[in-house]
Chain A
């Protein structure tokens, strides 16, 4: 994580680039495309520049004490009823801040309904959970702790448990002077730590910044397909490759996603939030239901256009991609994974 930690009142994400008409052709194995000289590619690349700081909300600004406390809480299994699950159990740095499973596993080792989403770059998110039921990271943080099928620890028991661990008191005092241990402060500390989890610079970033040798020609061609013929950028837009919006992408799944909260809005049925693509090779299996295990499989799904139903996004359609184009897209996506710095596990308060 190499971003400066400063407060930004508002962060403007990427702008949809689908409307930009590229003049660069897809050459397959023919003469290499002169990406560095093409003005349209250069203009397009501007949409993918990394931000230079992390945005923190005005009502929960960054402090080192808060982030340090939040990290301990995030990795502490005592935040679950059975003392075996922490936030990191399902959102682990070992798996690109997910859990590597098709679906999450909760209290009593029971499988949950959806894949555990990665928390990477959550600081830049507009809305949280696959169905958007949390409007902020602070709202999200306590949800899994108290949900019976997840960590199953009611808030009153959570407070009791943390207050019984002597070394937590001074940490809360340092992070929230005079306020003590409270549900709000637990949520604020965890959210602050989560906002510091930002994807490292990837080969793609070095290419965006002008190093033409940072990624392969295959990946460069994939970038063009991503933004034109395949129009992945309609939804996977900006440096974090998400529009934070909800789409039915036509997976054969009975889960109605955001439709639960908007039963009368057809486009909300089977709609899930667009995940970002950073660190993507560490985040398999893919999709909200973990139903596709490889990036190649994901390409096949989008190329086919998904199940036809009324809720299917208007942006989904058969793409008619060639084998070369699909291979180029995968090469491009692999360039979004960084050589992530190892994450140290904190020594927990006793």
Chain B
């Protein structure tokens, strides 16, 4: 909840169209994502939490929402903002069965 409030305050101060940007959490445990699909608003962030005992390498090559978190150690969390509306696919390059479909809307 603290993270949500913080995100809203930051967005408000910024005075941008992302005034209601929120942060969603997706866990990585047992070599699977905590969900297979998620719908968010443009400008929202997803906090990728590695709750596993092994490293992951989360990435997306979807146009406009490309990122590569590199080797993410167990116990760490990394936020990623999604700035382009549409569909994005998030994968783990080490564990290809880990797939997350992200729907980003205005």
* B11-61, CB < 8 A from A: 30-31, 53-55, 57
Known: A314-B54, A314-B55. A264 touches B97 (CB 8 A): no
Query: By the criterion CB–CB under 8 Å, are A265 and B70 in contact?
Result: yes
Chain B residues lying within 8 Å of A313, measured Cβ to Cβ, are: 54
Give the number of chain B interface residues (Cβ < 8 Å). 14
A144 to B70, CA, bound (A): 30
**Does A16 sit within 8 A of B, measured CB to CB?**
yes
User: Which secondary structure dominates where chain A touches chain B?
Assistant: loop
Query: CB-CB contacts of B84-106 with A at 8 A, as 1s and 0s?
Result: 00000000011111000000000
Chain B residues lying within 8 Å of A16, measured Cβ to Cβ, are: 30-31
Query: By the criterion CB–CB under 8 Å, are A265 and B93 in contact?
Result: yes
Query: CB-CB contacts of A312-343 with B at 8 A, as 1s and 0s?
Result: 01110000000000000000000000000000
A245 to B32, CA, bound (A): 12
Give, as a whole number of angstroms, the nearest-CB distance from A338 to chain B. 25
Known: A19-B30, A268-B57, A313-B54. A245 touches B70 (CB 8 A): no
**Does B71 sit within 8 A of A, measured CB to CB?**
yes
Query: By the criterion CB–CB under 8 Å, are A13 and B97 in contact?
Result: yes
Query: CB-CB contacts of A272-314 with B at 8 A, as 1s and 0s?
Result: 0000000000000000000000000000000000000000011
Chain B residues lying within 8 Å of A262, measured Cβ to Cβ, are: 57, 93
Query: By the criterion CB–CB under 8 Å, are A245 and B96 in contact?
Result: yes
Known: A262-B57, A314-B54, A315-B54. A268 touches B93 (CB 8 A): yes
Chain A residues lying within 8 Å of B71, measured Cβ to Cβ, are: 264-268
Chain A residues lying within 8 Å of B55, measured Cβ to Cβ, are: 266-267, 314
B95's nearest neighbour on chain A, judged by CB, is: A245
Most buried by B among A261, A262, A264: A262
Which of B's residues lie within 8 Å of A, judged by CB?
A: 30-31, 53-55, 57, 70-71, 74, 93-97
